[in-house]
Amino acid sequence: MSTPVVASPEGFELPEGQRRVIRWMIYLAFFALSIGILNGLGQALNYARIDILQYFPRMRTYHQGLTVHGVVNAIVFTFAFSNGFLALTTARALARPLNGGLLWAAFGSMVMGFLLAAFAMATGRASVLYTFYPPLMAHWSYYLGLALLVVSTWIIAVALFVALAGWRGENPRQRIPLLAFISTATYAMWCLASIGIAVEVVALLLPWSLGLVENVDPLLSRTLFWYSGHPIVYFWLLPAYVSWYAMVPKHAGGELFSDSLTRVVFVLFLLLSIPTGFHHQYADPGIATGMKAVHATLTFGVFFSSLITAFSIMYALEIGARRRGEKGLVSWFLKLDWKNPALLAQILAMLTFTLGGITRLINASYNLNQVIHNTAWIPGHFHMTVGSAVTLSFMGIAYWLVPYLTRRELVGRGLARAQAWLYALGVLIMARGLISGGLNGMPRRTLIMEAPYDDATWRLAGMLTGLGGTLMFVGGMLFFFVLVGTALFGKKMMGTVDIPFTVTHEGPATTGWAVKLDRYRYWVLATIILILIAYGPFLVSYLPGNFTSPGYQLF
């Protein structure tokens, strides 16, 4: 029996104050993205040996620009969007307002964190990239700013789980609405995953940057970073998955295959996202090879949930196309509603993510990782995941979300469709350039145009990278044009407006094992046990650490 993924499908009106603060979170996210895309053009053209970075105001070095590009795109943009979007989906799914004070506190924490980190980056005191590996040292305001951005996600998590607890208290025998389950599961995973980076920043790097302690331990810091640094990928990706599961089927006119299977996917992400960080540290000494193998195995385990997702989404899309009258074996794909920019952008994001997922398996492979790890391959992979699956999905979501939040109709639907095609084409061309260059040893994190070494094979790769980056930049500017035009000049909507949500072909079970999927305490306990197995042996053998390295500021 088809079942809606929300508790009150007949409608729910979010209080105006909460819609306002969520709207500002989304605006902050896309403001950060605008800075990141502008900076990204300079980074891409660097590979084509075209220097426009010199024209950027207050830009002193290449690594300063690369730091800005990484922080605003990977941290500020994604955190702000997730905080706003999943707050909305949880409130709508439960048909229950969230705590308005917590929403504003989270927004204030985000703004303060953004300003502090921006001060450090703009003044050239934090050119340490978004990974901020010590012994590279940044200004204390950079670390405090990043900490406040993480705190904002914790505040949102409290708001979501307070609302969920209230709903369950009033509905003790009902299953959690699917949209609320997958939204809160995302934050449950991140709350456990962000402990590593919080400890690193607050206990190690902030006192070090303030001069309270003299030295730092690079290996311990890197391990704490990658404890959070790999699952942060899923914190970027899962809000897109929430849309792919709960909203894309509605856009396509289809329905979601299974309630239980969807919950299993998000439980797998909760269980397996965190104990995978050592696959980023294959070259690091001091970590046993056996533990690296454990993390590699679990990394491949996470891939299984992406395969289930591919099946579920393709099912929903095919159902939608066949309801539009298509009967062909594969031609149904062409029958989808390609004129809907919200659907178009997210399908293109899924297609580029297919290649991004495949390259992820190569990154996770021990021997192959040694070949490509410090090459342009990595940003090539990165732009087919966070640069497209996440960013292009968030753009597609914005094509209904901003009209919902502003009560104004989307303007420029044709431009929105052109934007999605241009951006996706740009990602593919740029990734082709970066990956081929990486296979031939073209380094990453390098000002190629001034490198004293060269290789003939890097030239075509560099030109493709520059061309693809330019197309992405044009696509990004078209997106902001549509977004601002909608917010300022869109036609006012009349009546009640709701978010798009789907129904499931198989509704939530009321008996049997599937009911236990809603019991978070089981999965959180199992996750903690897996974390202890994956990180316990290293920490027991390594602590209290080797705090012997002074700080350096090279850029």
Q: Render 13-77 in DSSP notation, one character per residue.
A: ---HHHHHHHHHHHHHHHHHHHHHHHHHHHHHHHHTT---GGGSTT---HHHHHHHHHHIIIIII
DSSP letter, residue 551: P
Whether 91 contacts 109, CB under 8 Å:
no
Residues 209, 143 contacting (CB under 8 angstroms): yes
Question: Which of 156, 131, 157 lies closest to 143 in space, CA to CA?
Answer: 131
Per-residue three-class SS string for 422-457: HHHHHHHHHHHHHHHHHHCCCECCCCHHHCCCCCCH
Span between the terminal Cα atoms of the chain, in Å: 61
**Count H helices, E strands: the chain?**
20, 3
Strands 503-506, 256-258: parallel, antiparallel or unpaired by DSSP? parallel
Q: Are 355 and 432 in contact (CB under 8 A)?
A: no
Rounded distance, CA 511 to CA 509, Å? 6
Query: Whose structure tokens read 């990734």?
Result: 431
Q: Residue 66: beta bridge partners?
A: none
What does the block give as tokens for 417? 């469709």
d(CA 216, CA 205): 8
Of 539, 541, 543, 542, the residue nearest 531 (C-alpha): 539
Amino acid, single-letter form, for residue 33: L
Query: Exposure string (b/e) for 429-440, b if CB count within 10 Å is 16 or more?
Result: bbbbbbbbbbbe
Consecutive H or E run containing 504: strand 503-506
Strand runs labelled E in 289-418: none
CA distances from 412 to 424, 452, 489 (A): 18, 47, 11
Catalytic residues: 230, 234, 381-383, 444-445
Tokens encoding 531: 């974390």
Q: Which residues, listed in sequence order, are joined to residue 375 by a DSSP beta bridge? A: 443
- The rounded radius of gyration (Å) of the Cα atoms in the chain is 23
Cβ count near 449 (within 10 Å): 15
- Residue type, position 251, single letter: H
480 Cβ contact partners less than 8 Å away, ≥ 6 residues apart: 30, 34
**Sheet of 256-258, strand order:** 3-4, 503-506, 256-258
Return all residues near 500 (Cβ < 8 A) that are at least 6 apart. 247, 250, 251, 342, 400
